[in-house]
Amino acid sequence: MAVTLADVAARAGVSAATVSRVLSGNYPVAAHTRGRVLRAVEELEYVVNGPASALAAASSDLVGVLVNDIADPFFGIMASAVQGEIGDRKLAVVCNTGGSPERELTYLTLLQRQRAAAVVVTGGAVEDPEHQAALGARLKRLTEGGARVVLCGRPPMRDEAVGGGTGAAGATGTAAGTEPGAAAGGAPEDVPGGGQVGGRGADGGIVTLAFDNTGGARRLTEHLISLGHRRIGYVAGPAHRTTTRHRLDGHRQALEARGLLADAEALTVHGWAYDRPSGYDGALELLRRGTAPTAVLAANDTVALGVCAALRDQGLRVPEDISVAGFDDFPYSVDAYPALTTVRIPLHSAGARAGRLALGREGAPPGGVATVPAELIVRASTAPPHAFR
d(C-alpha 238, C-alpha 274), whole Å: 7
Give the structural domain span for 276. Answer: 214-344
Is residue 386 in some structural domain? no
Q: What is the pLDDT of residues 128-162, one digit of tens each?
A: 999 999 999 999 999 998 999 999 999 998 765 66
DSSP 185-227: TSSBTT-TT-SSTTS--GGG--EEEEE-HHHHHHHHHHHHHHH
Q: Do 157 and 263 belong together in one domain?
A: no
Is residue 236 in some structural domain? yes
Q: Do 67 and 201 belong together in one domain?
A: yes
Amino acid at 268: T
Q: Do 91 and 184 belong together in one domain?
A: yes
With a pLDDT cut of 70, the percent of the chain lying above it is 83
For residue 9, give the CATH number of its domain.
Answer: 1.10.260.40
Instruction: Give the pTM.
Output: 0.79
Q: Do 253 and 335 belong together in one domain?
A: yes
Q: Do 311 and 222 belong together in one domain?
A: yes
Q: Do 270 and 220 belong together in one domain?
A: yes
Cβ proximity of 328 and 344 under 8 Å: yes
Q: What is the pLDDT of residues 86-127, one digit of tens each?
A: 998 899 999 999 999 999 999 999 999 899 999 999 999 999
Count: domains in the chain: 3
Q: What is the pLDDT of residues 288-310, one digit of tens each?
A: 998 789 999 999 999 999 999 99
Q: Do 110 and 123 belong together in one domain?
A: yes
Q: Do 177 and 231 belong together in one domain?
A: no
Q: Do 193 and 290 belong together in one domain?
A: no
